[in-house]
Amino acid sequence: MKKILVVGANGQLGNCIRKIAPDFELDYEFIFTDSQTLDITNEDQIKNFFSENKPEFCINASAYTAVDLAEKEKEKAFAVNAEGVANLAQACADFKTILIHVSTDYVFDGETNLCYSEDDFTNPIGVYGESKLKGEEQALEINPNTVILRTSWLYSEFNKNFVKTMLNLFSQKEELGIVADQFGQPTNANDLAEAIMDIIETSQKTFGIFHFSNYPETTWFEFAEKIAEFSKSSVKLNQLTTEQYPTPAKRPKRSTMCLDKIEEIYKIEPKHWENSLEECVNILHNNIL
């Protein structure tokens, strides 16, 4: 059986992969690690781990994702999102392992009215985006057998995310202000997990950068509106501008990504974000009850 190493197994994506792993247990052996069992910033530890386990695939679901805190913790962000990725990529190159690395729409500055293709100019406007872009560059330079999946606005029933934060606030507040002038694509991490397994399962391997998210674009305000609708919340939502809700890190105004390439090459058809959101809210609602 082929081995799949999942790095960052306790994060949102890692947990979603763990959830569907039993569906693939006849063909693949999954090795799930967290920062305690495999520290990707420790080059020697990674070398030893790969030497012992020799995985055919490595899914890097680990990341420093504290967008605002990254402005203060630049070294930490780059240690995980750039140097750690370089360490993984080198081990993958040494052991002929295919690396599937998850990146972000924040590699773009958001100053466009169009969707971004994989070949468009990158220009991150914050430390988080800079560190993720550096990780992309390192991965592709060190290990040509790398698939980079840029995704956006990730949420799930696991860990901390916008959907769970909203549901929590809806139960506490009667009124909330939500930013309505930033555009992007909410993505259910369960859909991303399935897309990754689709890529692993196909016999044809095309390496490089791909965009994957749910579609079409929306705003944080419209996203929150749908969360309220699906959870049957009576909270009143008010539209805010980015200027009315300042944050330590700047966010791209429109980081919408084109999804044609992954559909064309890997035959992966992304789902409508509202459908995927409703599934997630139902899961969370049932768990709460």
Could you give the residue numbers annotated as active site?
A: 128
d(CA 105, CA 111): 12
Residues in Cβ contact with 138 at an 8 Å cutoff, skipping those fewer than 6 apart = 82, 83, 85, 86, 89
Residues in Cβ contact with 246 at an 8 Å cutoff, skipping those fewer than 6 apart = none
* E strand map for the chain: 2-7, 28-33, 57-60, 98-104, 146-151, 154-155, 175-179, 183-184, 187-188, 208-211, 218-219, 236-240
Contact present, 3 and 50 (Cβ < 8 Å): no
Task: Give which of 147, 206, 161 is closest to 66, Cα–Cα.
Answer: 161
Peptide bond into 216 cis (omega under 30): yes
